[in-house]
Amino acid sequence: MVDFGTAVTFDVISGKGEYLGGMIIPGLGVSLDALSKYTALLPRVKLESPREFIGRDTKNSMLSGVVYGYAALCDDLSARIKLKVGVKAKIIGTGGGVGLIGKYCKSLDKIDKDLTLFGLNLLNKRS
């Protein structure tokens, strides 16, 4: 499962439902904020779809880099995870940012924006 939220988290679950491990990466919005905060001349940019693959101005260059960069990151890490655990692994995208980034990721087998919330609700009902 790849959750595109404040952080991008990869959670690997076995066919038996066992948690095998994961990865945690700064989210798309956090990355855009860091570019403006920690560089001298880059502006604050609202996260949205880039107009084109290669940006022609600063704003769209930042958006293109973050959106296409994270899509490539998702696709590559998903491929590596599949090699590690088996090619039958399914990659599910979720989280608040999946609506934006999901269309750029080739590796997502399914998109369920509310999967994390659904899981938390199930846990809440158990307690």
Domains and CATH numbers, the chain: 2-126 (3.30.420.40)
pTM for the full predicted model: 0.89
Dump the DSSP string for 58-114: HHHHHHHHHHHHHHHHHHHHHHHHHHHH-TT---EEESTTHHHHGGG-SS-SEE-TT
Q: What is the pLDDT of residue 116?
A: 73
Q: What is the pLDDT along the chain (127 residues), one digit of tens a residue?
A: 999 999 999 999 988 888 999 999 999 999 999 999 999 999 999 999 999 999 999 999 999 999 999 999 999 999 999 999 987 889 999 999 999 999 999 999 999 987 877 777 777 787 7
Closest by CA position to 117, among listed 88, 94, 83, 93:
94
